[in-house]
Amino acid sequence: MKVLLVSSYIFGYIEHLKPAFTAQNIDAEFLYLGKPPLDFKYKSKAHHLWAFLKKAVGINTKMQFRHKAIYDFVRGKKYDQILVIHPQYLPHKTHILLRSITNRYVTFLFDSMAKMPRQKPVLKHFDTVFSYEKRDCKQYGFEFITNFIPVSSSNNYSPLDTTLDFFNICSLDSRFKNLEAIAKALEEKNLNYEFLVFSKKSKNSSYIKFISKKLEGASVRQKLSQTRGLVDIQRADQQGLSFRVFESLGYRKKLITTNADVVNYDFYNENNILIVDPKNVEIPIHFIESDYVDIPSAVLQKYETSGWISKIFNP
């Protein structure tokens, strides 16, 4: 089977699918928005200004560039299936083009409809729409699928190798206050943590470290391997489980999360996952001191990349 995957780079998460494609003898090609050949850049300030003026009359220079780059890439090719992630970043004519060269055209929504309503107009082009948001699946008839474990479940990182108790990395947004509340609670228990927030403009905080440049995937993975636990802050407009939850499974790390819906998943274990109310953060000492409880391999396999690919590409 030959497939094409068109997606945002999403911090390198999608790269973890490549070994699983190979293992299943699937010939997979990847196109990342923002990476060659889809790495659009304004040629000058004048070009940027001209693009802005054209956008005001309905002409999107970046979308035009993406369409031509994708057209050049797929010209003369046929695919058994095409998967698009972040479909809102492609114009209608590109979806029509891709739909014409495949037997099955599907999308996985990386955002909830509440967070990203601009996804809705392009969904008419797809045979199947997958989403990790249960509410969206119920309301719009999407197929439910979670994110995947972006590492091998066979990874075993000994607590002896860790230098942090808890780690989080994210962008500056509405979750900041909740992240800071958890940081304060960890500080009160004299726990060693590192919370990195990416932002061009930093804020005053005694608990959060601001970074002006996003860390590469390898650097983030090193941080993940050096901590005993991860912290996950739920977005107000999202109920589905973030990749942070699945990283905790793959790296065998404890997890502090504000997403109460995690109790409804079969991998939930109160020894490994602590649900907190950001308005009143309580972190029991027994959660900190107890060892991680391994999740049965039969459960983990359902969330690994191989299982994710099988569900997406085998309707």
How far is Cα 102 from Cα 97, in angstroms, rounded to an integer? 9
The residue whose two tokens read 């065998």 is 252
Domain 2-145 has CATH 3.40.50: yes
Fold for domain 159-296? Rossmann fold (3.40.50)
Give residue 40's pLDDT.
82
Amino acid letter, 247: E
pLDDT of residue 312: 97
Please answer whether residues 137 and 131 qualify as being in contact, where contact means their C-beta atoms are separated by less than 8 angstroms. Answer: yes
Residue 191 pLDDT: 95
- Enumerate the CATH 3.40.50.2000 domain ranges in the chain, comma separated: 159-296
The kind and range of the H/E element at 144 are strand 143-144
- Helix, strand or coil, per DSSP, at residue 40: coil
Structure confidence at residue 153 (pLDDT): 45
pTM score > 0.75 for this model? yes
Q: What is the pLDDT of residue 158?
A: 47
Q: What is the pLDDT of residue 186?
A: 96
Residue type, 82: I
Tens digits of pLDDT across the chain (315 residues): 999 999 999 888 999 999 999 999 999 999 999 999 999 887 787 777 767 777 766 778 888 999 999 999 999 999 999 999 999 999 999 999 999 999 999 999 999 999 999 999 999 999 999 999 999 999 999 999 999 999 854 444 444 478 899 999 998 888 999 999 999 999 999 999 999 999 988 788 889 999 988 887 778 888 888 999 999 999 988 999 999 999 999 999 999 999 999 999 999 999 999 999 999 999 999 999 999 999 999 999 999 999 999 999 986
- Residue 257 in 3-state DSSP? strand
pLDDT at 315: 60
